[in-house]
Chain A
Amino acid sequence: MTLFGTGVLKGLIVTLKNFATSYFRKPDNGGIFTVQYPEERAKEIESFRNFPFLVYDGTPEKIRCVACGICERECPPKCIHIVMETEAGTGKPAKRPAVFEIDYGLCMNCGMCEDVCPFDSIYMDHAFEVTASDRTQELVRPKETLLKSNDYFLKIRPGTATPVDQKRRAAEEKKKTAQAAATPPKTNP
């Protein structure tokens, strides 16, 4: 038979121990596990996904997105809005988005757009400090704020970006050689 009151004392000892260990133990070993946020930051995990962003190569003009609208259609909460640009003279579709907006207030960070995009142009970002004071204006992000360079993409998610880059380079090489093959070689007279 255990003495009445031992359970209570055991509990007191546990909390006393934790009080003491909080001064010298490491966080993963029973020490203080809170992170002092603005000064310290939690370890950034590569696969972390927050809101989507658009990738461009080199300069913002060279945008990968061709405004095909697949992400717009597949987005479960329908937070993407795309309008394709038309060529100034001809009025033909220019395979470039004139408008590309994502409503961050609506987006649920599921990553569907990233999965379905056939042109490797939309990916999930790491940036999570996206507060806004207005729900309808500031949280609807236009193309300009969504665009981020490929270098940034390589920096935050090297594991995803490097194979994509290799694939794209290989495709470009292939295209070049195909072009080279297609143009008839100059025949020597």
Chain B
Amino acid sequence: MSSSAQTKPARQLRCCGASGCRSAGSEELQAALEAARDAAGHTAQELAIKPVGCLRLCGRGPLVACDGPGGTTLYGAVPPTEAGALIEATRNYDHASDTLQASRLDPQLPFFALQSSVVLEGCGQVDPESIDDAIAFGTYSQLRRCLHELTPEEVREQVKRSGLRGRGGGGYPTGLKWDTVALQPPGPRYVVCNADEGDPGAFMDRSVLESDPHRLLEGLAIAAYAVGADRGYVYVRAEYPLAVERLRKALQQARRAGLLGSGIDGTSFALTIEVRVGAGAYVCGEETALLQSIQGQRGMPRPRPPYPAQSGLWGAPTLINNVETFAAVPVILREGGDWYASMGTAGSKGTKVFALSGAVTNTGLVEVPMGTTLRSVVEVIGGGVPDGTPIKAVQTGGPSGGCIPAELLDTPVDYESLLELGSMMGSGGMVVMGETTSMPEVARHFMRFSVNESCGKCVPCRAGTVQLAQLLERFVERRASPADMAKLDALCRMVKATSLCGLGQSAPNPVLSTLRYFRHEYEAACRQPALCDRP
């Protein structure tokens, strides 16, 4: 989608350098490719070897996309020993070795063919460490357009028209939030990007940060302009070192290029952005806890209202959105809010990025229009369970979500449908579970997570999750009684209704949803009314 008349080399190899492929040896592969190219006597002009971000199919890394005159071919799990063959194949695919043939991925695979790249359009295309490449791809053009051609109201109008809703979990209408912040009494305002992607099974934001950080900065800057903020923070979890590194680099480049700082692009708009690195606390994904953490405090949530849009960092109105939300903004402005709203369902517009993992053949990043059925995501795109056995359930929404049973896979994925099923969109992690997965064990897994991550401020979460985890232990060890079942139900309801923040309020969801759909597994673990034999 490049808008520039950039001269592209005739042939190029795009090597994924995001964390997943890195751990599978992408750096070694890239070095081997460069050596092989030099050995074959090609120049970088003839054959570019370009480090890029996520090429989606993370489970088959390291991934390399080969752009030649005949189109693009994708290779997965390429060993460095095949570097020479790969260089050769860029010229003539018929020369590809058997090993290389075997690593070739069919671009017509539903995994690729059924995706729509909107938020991820630059992922795997641009070099995440080069602002020039990002600019050549069109990044920052919408920021410039906003600054020169649009008023903040007009920007917010487009975001409202797009129907974009917060991609971090709650699904609050983004345009409305922006308005709330913008319309507060005059005074300082802040924009904050929540990049504390903590849901186990979620890695969408990580991929955007590692693959296309300038898009995020552009979205954040547009938001700052739209709400009248001159200071922003990106709060990234420390567990993502590569994302932190690339984001810092991108910030530095953007400052040097005059796209951040004072007098941006010759206008009076000024914006300073700082990276704040977390230190391992899931609860900091909760917005009031995140604000505490940015201010150097314990990440303890506080009751809302007041909402951060009214009173956030240092008491000033603060706009908080997550990475995917901000990353969707430049496209919305480029193509128009109506264009974005034409995708998706009545209540959930646009596309959503999912991180597909667990017992599924194709693991990786999937971007599809809202309203796509779960079945087409996990069975068609994901390819089902690797050994061909049936899917038992799909977990969405992380520790706040639930397990959706196989018989409901035809549900369209949108905020409301998932809530009705007792799960939630969450940030977009989707973990597929096969028949061997025990649901009380899944529930215990999440409850232990919540026990570990509870901040300890309010008693239902601090002490209730501990009791819930112990109750679940009794089911997993098949020494529960029917009375335990009643206790489990009652305590889940209590923790959900009375906890202070979203973490506690949603901690019982994995239990409630597995109780709802897989109650028989709990009942099977129940003995007759208990007599004492516990350790």
- A and B found bound together: no
**Interface residues in chain B, defined as those with a beta carbon under 8 Å from any beta carbon in chain A:** none
**Interface residues in chain A, defined as those with a beta carbon under 8 Å from any beta carbon in chain B:** none
